[in-house]
A = this chain, B = another copy of it.
C-alpha cells in the first residue's frame, strides 16, 4: 500500500464514531480511485460496522486502544491518550504511512496533538484553522476559527499568507483576494493588532484588498477573510445559528395549516433544491494549516455525507501539496519583509 496515496481516518472521533466514519469511508471508496483509507480505532467496533460489507484492499484497519472524549481537555488527551485513534491517525501522517488524516474529534485535542506530533512549519508561529463557507459567487475561506484566541499582528499576517496559499493550491486561484476582518465605525475602527496587521498586509505581495466587515464574508467579493480565533469562532457559530433559525421558520411557515401544506407540496422540489445548495454538509471539513502534514477536522456532528466531504478535502490537499506550498510561501513572504527592511 506504500506507493498509493493514503488517508488515515480517526474512526472513533465525533458524536457518532465508527457508525458514521465507516459508512463515509465506504461511500468515498466507491466513488474514488487511487486513494486508500486506514480506519484507526478499536478494531472490534470498526469490524462490526464492516460486517457483511464488501470492500477491497484500499480499506485497512489500524487498531488503537483509546478514544479521546469530545469534552476532554487537550492537555489530558496529550498526556494520557498516547494510543488514541486521534493520535495514532496523526502519527500515521508523521511516519509517512498516510499523507493526510481526518478526525471529527474535539478540536482542541486535535490541534494540540497535531502540533505536538507533526510540529509547525518553519517560520509559522501558530497553526490556524480554516474552512470555506458559501457566498454569493462561490465560497469564501475564513481563518482562524478558534485555535488562537489572542493574536498578534504578525500571527494575523501569517494566517493571511497561509490562507491565500491554501486557496491558490486547492481552488487554483492565482492571486486570491485577501481581506482583514474589522468593524466599520471610523473612530472606533479596529483594535491595535488589526491595525498593525493591516500595515503588514498592505506592504506584502499578497492580493490584499483591505478591511472587510462581517457581511462581506457572504458576498463573495473576497476569497480569504482573516481574523483572530475568537472572532472567527463566533462568526462561524453565529452564521450556523442564523441559518438554522431561518430554515426552521421557513419550514414552520409551510406547516401552519392545510392551505400552507398544499403550497409547500407544490414548492417541495424547489425547496429541496434550495436546501441542497445551502447544505452545510457540503462545506464540512476544516483544515489545520501551518503544520508539517495535512490534518482535516470534520464537524463533530457530521453525518456520513458530511464526513465524506471532509475526506475529499484531505484528498484535494494531498494532490496540491498544501504543507510544502505554505512553507515555501511563508518563508518567501518573510524574506521579502527582511529584504524590504534591509534595502
Question: Which residues on A are within 8 Å of B, measured CB to CB?
Answer: 71-75, 106-109, 111-112, 134-136, 146-150, 181, 183-188, 190-191, 213-219, 227, 229-231, 233-246, 248-250, 253-254, 256, 259-260, 262-264, 266-271, 273-274, 277-278
Contacts and interface: CB of A to CB of B under 8 A. Distances in A.
Contacts of A240: 214-215
B191 A217 contact: no
A264 B243 CA distance: 21
For the complex of A and B, the 9 pairs showing the least CB-CB separation, nearest first, are A214-B237, A215-B241, A218-B241, A214-B238, A266-B266, A267-B267, A183-B233, A108-B185, A74-B187
A241 to B, nearest CB: 4
A198 B214 CA distance: 26
A31 to B, nearest CB: 26
A183 B218 contact: no
Contact of A239 (B146, B184, B242): B242
| Copies per complex of this chain | 2
A271 B271 CA distance: 11
A130 to B, nearest CB: 15
A267 B95 CA distance: 57
Contacts of A188: 74, 108, 111, 146-149, 229
Q: Which label, helix, strand, loop or mixed, suits the secondary structure of the A interface? A: helix
Contacts of A244: 215, 218
Which of A217, A238, A262 gathers the greatest number of chain B CB atoms within 10 Å? A238
Contacts of A239: 214, 238-239, 241-242
Given A266-B267, A270-B264, A216 B234 contact: no
Contacts of A219: 241
Given A183-B230, A235-B238, 17 more contacts: A75-B187, A106-B185, A108-B188, A109-B186, A183-B229, A213-B237, A214-B237, A214-B239, A215-B238, A239-B242, A242-B242, A249-B277, A249-B278, A253-B271, A254-B267, A263-B266, A264-B270
Contacts of A217: 238, 241
26 contacts: A73-B186, A75-B187, A108-B185, A108-B186, A109-B186, A111-B188, A147-B188, A183-B233, A184-B237, A214-B233, A215-B241, A218-B238, A218-B241, A218-B245, A234-B235, A239-B239, A239-B241, A249-B274, A249-B277, A253-B277, A256-B270, A260-B270, A263-B266, A264-B270, A266-B267, A267-B267
Contacts of A259: 269
Contacts of A112: 187
Contact of A71 (B186, B214, B218, B262): B186
Contacts of A216: 241
Contacts of A246: 243, 246, 278
Contacts of A270: 253-254, 256, 260, 263-264, 267
